[in-house]
Structure 1
Amino acid sequence: MKFFFISILSCVWSTAILSQVASVTSPNKQINVVVNAPNEFVSDTWFLQVNYDSNGSTQIIPKINLGLVRSDQNFSRDLQFLKTGKARLITENYSTLHGKRSKCTNSANEITVSFQNPGKAKLNLIIRAYNDGIAFRYEFPEKNGTYLVKDELTAYFIPDSTKRWLEKYNPANEGLYSEMVDGNIQKDWCYPALFNTADKKCWFLIHEADVNRNYCGSKLTNYGDKNSYKITFPDQWNGRGTGETQPTVTLPWQSPWRVIIMGSLSDIVESTLVNDVSTPSVIKDTEWIKPGVASWNYWSDNHGTKDFKTVCKFADLAAAFNWPYTLLDWEWDTMGNGGQLEDALKYIHSIGVKPLMWYNSGGEHTWVGATPKDRMLTHENRMEEFAKLKKLGVVGVKVDFFESEKQNMINYYLDILEDAAQFEIMVYFHGCLVPRGWARTYPNLMTYEGVRGAEWYNNGPEFTTTAPKHNSILPFTRNVVGSMDYTPVTFTNSQYPHTTSYGHELALSVLFESGIQHMADRPEGYYELPDAAKSFLRTIPNTWDNTKLLDGYPGQYVVMARQKGNSWYIGGISGTQKERVQKLDFSFLPKNIKYKLTLISDGRHDKDFAVKYMVVDKTSTVDVKLLRRGGFAAVLNQVK
């Protein structure tokens, strides 16, 4: 009986192979995408098949259903194939101001497959095959018309026994990832979604990129077929019911890119594919955009910015650790106890630190009443507020509580970025969507929350037990697709305690990438550290020339190395209840160059460090002991 079933499946996919009309292969021949015609056994719409391995020979995703439903016409069933355009090589080198790599390459083979529906309306499918994944998007090439997109039928079929790490959807994208081996849980799911094939040979991460004003953000749902993850528009209740769930598009039109990063775990972690496919920078002069580290008073004192003296203490912390920024969070408009906003800003500037300020996004889309709430909502309000901030020397704003990914909210995000750029003001978003490649288009977008970060130690006891595992999943999922404002590196306790070691917390300054990295602990949490750890935090960069995954597995452990100039920084953590010995292999270093290693690892107990100094080169290895839920950080400086 089992043999009969396998034979039927083989027959089905052989039929699908016979219906191929086009394919494109990555430059390194590892990834292959096939366009298949509808098939009575497999799909009643056109679909893609994604293959991986030498010559793209192993089927990884057997079916990605295709199609759109527009208010005037259907572009799914009964599409007629017209032609496949000539394959072209996409090749582009670009630089970034912040992120996992300073010099990036956008290199792929691309084809455009053209269709028409029974009404003779045209639809193009643009497909790219990269060395580290694929991307595809829809295009309505006709020159005029405005329509509602009622549904997008793109759906990824993921076979049973494929391991998956998925986060249940919530508008703030602040959930935990669950590890599963099939699709038995049927839910709405956040991006990005991570998968590992049953044979463990290929990993892939599903996301979207280059979402613009002409569409909405989406999520994945698997309610119809438990193993078919369909692109789904926002729910009506998102944003307290404001905005339309279905996007309005104006022709000519292109959809966001549907992105699948593929390969080994290191291919996933090191990929810049989400930015590669996104629109290049629209800001010409970027000299004023300065990534950096900030002190932040909210985590340890929820009402800290209401107190002038607390604000000054955190500004002093930034100055003492050579961090360029300090953030004034909510309630700065009601500051007292010795001074008001203008006094605080004057003091911050006087000690060589630059201020950042928090805003409620405002409007009917959020129930949160925290003030100031009314200053970002309209173009007129923003222009007035940004002009004031420019005069006061405020260099960045944190805007919070968006609670929707409908088209109106996508427009709002981009409005803020464009208006802020006119006044040379950096921006980051909280209570928001996860990155969609906008940091390439608007490099003044420094970071996003869109993650369950350290703030959750204040929300209840749950994060005390879940944080270690959660922290060791994020480098393989959320932080792959863009900057992540987790607000890490906390040694003291806030409202609920840690179970992570001090070594684990220090490592997060390397593992978690963010264009503005907020060190969230209270001043004494840093002042009372031993000298080696304090020195490490005084010099840690938050922008990188290169990033490498050295070892790891989601939910268990992760070790990463990041390069800045001639130096390398390494962070490693364990997410489990077991001690482990991590072999640190320096084979990623260049030949014939020696480095001084400063290794700061777990000591005798969770709140203790062990510090080791030695000279290493490409041939060296070092064994590092990690306590349960432990970690380590290291810096390698060239010996001159």
Structure 2
Amino acid sequence: MLRITKIITLFVFVTVSSSAVLAQKETSFTLASPNSEIQVEVNIGKNITWTVSNRSHQVISPSRIAMTLENGEELGTTPKVRDSEKKEINTTIDAINYKKDIIEDHYNQLILKFNKNYGLIFRAYDSGVAYRFTTNRKKEFTIASEEVNFNFPEDHMIYIPYANDPANDVYQISFENLYQHIPLSEINKDTIAFAPVLVELPNGMKAAITEADLESYPGMFLKAGDNDFSLKGEFAGYPLEEEQGGHNGLQSFVTKRADYIAKTSGSRSFPWRVVIISNEDKELLNNDMIYKLASAPRIDDTSWIEPGKVTWDWWNDWNISGVDFKAGINTETYKYYTDFAAENGIENILLDEGWAPKGEILNTIPDIDLDEIISYAGSKGVGVWLWSGYLPLAQNMDEALATYSEMGVKGLKVDFMNRDDQKMVDFYYEISRKAAEHQLMLDFHGSYKPTGLQRTYPNVVNFEGVRGLENTKWSNTDFPLYDTRVPYIRMLAGPMDYTPGAMINASKDNFRAIHSAPMSQGTRVHQLALYVLYEAPFNMLADNPTNYKDEPESTAFIASVPTTFDETVALDGKVGEYAAIARRKHDIWYVGAITNWDARDLEIDLSFLPEGDYEAVIFKDGVNADKEATDYKREVINVKSGEQLNVHLANGGGWAARIYPAQ
């Protein structure tokens, strides 16, 4: 539902005759953001190029825009402008299951229409710019390639996550790779990377590159461009042949790709090419551009969609203790998880991999009585989610969705897609639509980054596409460093299924990757703060119920943090160093801050609080947390709006608070 508060529309039409176009060497169009700080210039000559500046500093130097069809026709070569239209939009969006309830949607827009029935739309926001192709043709057509360029005027530093070894199908990846922090000129020219990427500009400015409203089209990868300091888009060819394989045969591997990227309807809009621009790093912690650019909701009734938290079994290897049954993938274990969830106000339990025979979706293993688990959980007010590998679900989609919806399942965690070619993107939309018809929610694991699908289909409540806590089971990745990068980069695209909540915490020297009894890097409070800091409408508790029962204070805080909010305030931060965010649900505020492996002192400004007296339940790193990462201190203090709280974060540490009106 769109609530309109104010619309200011200025139409400027320019109609150019054919003879005038032929005589015209170059035409230039300009577009400014509402605050006039960001400027876009579009030049129409032999080609179409765009240039972007922020506060008079060039962000994107002239970069060509084009699309080539399979028949050799090039949209964007010798273009002839038929007409143009400018307008200003100032309205609001009622967000669903988001980090705020109302989004201010204010932008200026330029629409260019060309001969040959295609067009370009440009938008300028105060926080960035975007453009997209449109076509208005009667017949379907095939796209051979799209030329997307982001040229930079200097050799800036970039945070870039490379894809896999190009000796294999480079487009088949988990989208979990780490960020390389390198100059643009040193980007590996023999591979590709996935978005978002983040470019450092002068004077503390940043530019993030990604896409939005990706539908029936391949996702955009990025690679070294033709210039020394540039990036260009790369797109997976359409899958022609596939074979079953991968983990337990749950994946579909492309063995032959077409020399085209998409077959598409003749009249449509294509994905947005997005540059998010910040003047301070903390602005990236509270950016709404992808949600704004996404298509409007296609579900009329969203009252049944209830995101929340969920107990998770796989990361902790079902390692509950103190019970008189053998813990594992069985009915008794999931009843135990259900009891824990009910006792602590956790809305859901998840049956992860193993509840169904390998490669199947419509049967259960003998030790699982799914009807009994669902009935028992329902009696406790707890929802049941099921994990599924991609291929079995894709092969049995209609029957599986109908069966589990009728049984009372609340949602599905879908895993191992590991692609974003056009065929896979179509799968996301198909299952989102059909799941909504059966009132089932979805969590996409093994997925590409979000591009706004969660707005279009609000029953989609989370995405992975991030190197989450599960990797601590086998990897020595520097997680506190990664944890302080992803809120500024990956989280720009949308929610992250990072799965925090470890109760066994380790300092840098004490950490070991252990598969069956895993631990986190950094402090206990670092884990607690992630529930506030990371956007996740469907948020997991990674550890096992026994460990949570042994840590009631930490568990109570985790349980108290909502997964969607009414307001978000970015407090402070620097990419790769630290981040601090405040979020409000009704009249209660939640604050989370984390640091990398460097201890630091922060000042938390409470000016976001309305006037009045408040109590704050605070979790902070203990005095010995630098060596014993589980060490923390909980305290309750009185606070007021405008106060400054001096906060110390230990190595790999954190700080978390729940602030509510004093009684």
Structure 1 residue 336 displacement after superposition: 6.7
What is the RMSD computed on CA atoms of the aligned residues? 2.2
Letter in 2 for 1:571: G
- What's the offset of the Cα at 1:80? 3.0
- In the alignment, which of 13, 16, 23 is matched to residue 30 of structure 2? 23
2:551 paired residue among 529, 533, 537: 529
> In the alignment, what sits opposite 1:203?
206
Gaps in structure 2 of 5+ consecutive residues? 1-24, 165-172, 243-251, 320-326, 358-363, 506-513
Aligned partners of 1:243 and 1:361: how far apart in 2?
20
User: Does the alignment pair 1:412 with 2:440?
Assistant: no
1:366 alignment counterpart:
none
Structure 1 residues 242 and 510, CA gap change in structure 2 (3 angstroms)? farther
Amino acid at match of 1:582: L
Matched residue, 2:152: 158
Q: CA deviation at 1:285?
A: 0.6
SS in 2 for 1:199: helix
- Residues of 2 paired with 1:76 and 1:197: CA distance? 31
Match of 1:560 among 571, 575, 581: 581
| Partner residue, 2:43 | 36
Deviations 1:609-631 (A, max 9, x none): 11232222222111111110111
Alignment map for 1:420-569 (pairs within 5 Å):
420-458=435-473, 460-463=474-477, 466-492=478-504, 495=515, 496-529=518-551, 531=553, 533-569=554-590
CA apart distance, 1:535: 2.5
On the 8 A contact 2:48/2:77 being kept in 1, the answer is no
Cα distance in structure 2, aligned partners of 1:545 and 1:96:
9
Match of 1:593 among 586, 600, 612: 612
1:384-416 CA-to-partner distances (Å, cap 9, x unmatched) read: 222221222101011111122111111111111
Provide the aligned length of Structure 1 versus Structure 2.
588
Q: CA deviation at 1:338?
A: 6.3
Structure 1: tracts of 5 or more residues without a match: 1-17, 39-43, 363-373
The one-letter amino acid paired with 1:157 is N
Cα offset, 1:249, TM superposition: 1.9
2:336 to 313, 319, 331: 313
Give the TM-score normalised by structure 1: 0.87
Is the Cα–Cα contact under 8 Å of residues 282 and 579 in structure 2 kept in the other structure? Answer: no
Map 1:153-552 → 2, pairs under 5 A: 153-170=147-164, 171-186=173-188, 187-200=191-204, 202-213=205-216, 215-222=217-224, 224-234=226-236, 239-241=253-255, 244=258, 246-264=261-279, 265-301=281-317, 306-333=329-356, 339-362=368-391, 374=392, 376-378=393-395, 381-458=396-473, 460-463=474-477, 466-492=478-504, 495=515, 496-529=518-551, 531=553, 533-552=554-573
Q: Are 2:592 and 2:656, in contact at CA under 8 Å, matched by a contact in 1?
A: yes
Give, as a single letter, the amino acid of the residue that structure 2 aligns with 1:490.
A
Per-residue CA distance 1:467-525 (angstroms, 9 max, x = gap): 11011111101112111101111122752543311011111111111121011111122
Using a 3 Å threshold, how does the CA distance of structure 1 residues 612 and 250 change in structure 2: closer, same or farther? Answer: same
Shift of the 357–530 alpha-carbon distance from structure 1 to 2, 3 Å rule, reads: closer
Q: Distance in 1 between matches of 2:50 and 2:101?
A: 33
**Structure-2-length-normalised TM-score:** 0.85
The answer (yes or no) to whether the contact 1:46–1:76 under 8 Å persists in 2 is no
Corresponding residue for residue 130 of structure 1: 125
Secondary structure class of the residue paired with 1:87:
strand
| 1:553 positional shift | 1.1
Is contact 2:119–2:134 with CA below 8 Å preserved after alignment? Answer: yes
Q: State the distance in 1 between where 2:418 and 2:572 align.
A: 35
In 1, Cα distance between equivalents of 2:155 and 2:661: 46
SS of equivalent to 2:186: coil
Secondary structure of residue in 1 paired with 2:154? coil
Deviation at 1:263, TM superposition (A): 2.1
Is the CA contact 1:185–1:226 (under 8 Å) kept in the aligned structure 2?
no
Return closer, same or farther for 1:240/1:80 CA change in 2, 3 Å cut-off.
closer
Whole-angstrom CA distance in 2 between matches of 1:20 and 1:623: 55
Which residue does the alignment assign to 2:22? none
Deviation of residue 270 (structure 1)? 1.1
**CA distance in 2: counterparts of 1:461 and 1:434, whole angstroms:** 22
Cα distance, 1:429 vs. partner? Answer: 0.9
Distance of aligned partners of 1:329 and 1:635 in 2 relative to their CA distance in 1, 3 Å threshold: same
Cα displacement (A) at 1:305 = 6.1
Does 2:639 correspond to 1:639?
no
Instruction: Please say which of residues 219-228 and 545-554 is displaced more in the overlay.
Output: 219-228
Q: Give SS of 1:551's match.
A: strand
- DSSP 3-state at the match of 2:36: coil
2:6 corresponds in structure 1 to none
Any idea what SS the aligned residue of 1:357 has?
strand
What amino acid does structure 1 have at the position aligned with 2:613?
K
What SS does structure 2 have at the residue aligned with 1:297? Answer: coil
For the 8 Å contact 2:314–2:352, the answer to whether it is kept is: yes
Aligned equivalent of 1:109: 108
Conserved in 2, the CA contact under 8 Å of 1:63 and 1:157? yes
Secondary structure of the residue that 1:149 maps to in structure 2? strand
State the match for 1:11 in structure 2: none
Cα distance change of structure 1 residues 526 and 47 upon mapping to structure 2, 3 Å threshold: same
SS in 1 for 2:435: helix
Q: Distance in 1 between matches of 2:112 and 2:631?
A: 60
**1:306 is aligned with what amino acid?**
I
Aligned to 1:365: none
Are the equivalent residues in 2 in contact too, given 1:160–1:183 (CA < 8 A)? no
